[in-house]
Amino acid sequence: MPPDHFIQNLERLQTELPHMAARAMAYTSLWMEQYAKPNAPWTDRTANLRNSIQAGVTRAQEDEVEGALSMGYLGFGESMEYARRIELGFVGEDSLGRTYNQSPYPIIWPTVQLAANQHIFERAMQAELQQFLGTS
């Protein structure tokens, strides 16, 4: 490969890299959402809380990309107040003044940890780079 082709490919890679990272984060976010919904460890009578689990790319700039996984937001600023209590647990008081503990049933943080441990973003970036280089 002539040196000028190498430089051109590096310049092209520099231009394309933020787009690759955004696509890899979009894939990772979708993976987390698809994992979290069926694996949430609680019984959900209405499925509202389970259906409120969402993920997506929240920032994609030249030098950084960010994704998020959330639960309990239905859109238009409406939130499900009990989502935090389900995820984190809580201490409450009943109408007779007795204190009780509600155990947590976490899904958000365990899903993020699983995605990190399984290198989902890194694998998606690797696939993006292989496609760019034509080595897939």
Residue 15 pLDDT: 84
- 117 compared with 97, residue with greater pLDDT: 117
Domain residue ranges in the chain: 3-133
pLDDT tens, 119-130?
999 999 999 999
Contact 50, 34 (CB under 8 A): no
Rounded distance, CA 89 to CA 87, Å? 6
Rounded distance, CA 75 to CA 83, Å? 14
Q: Which residues of 76-88 are buried (b: 16+ CB within 10 A; e: fewer)?
A: eeeeeeebebbbe
Measured CA to CA in angstroms, residue 79 lies from 29, 48, 58 at distances of 20, 11, 18
Mean pLDDT of the chain: 89
> Does the model's pTM come out above 0.85?
no
> CA angle, corner 104, sides to 57 and 114, nearest 5?
40
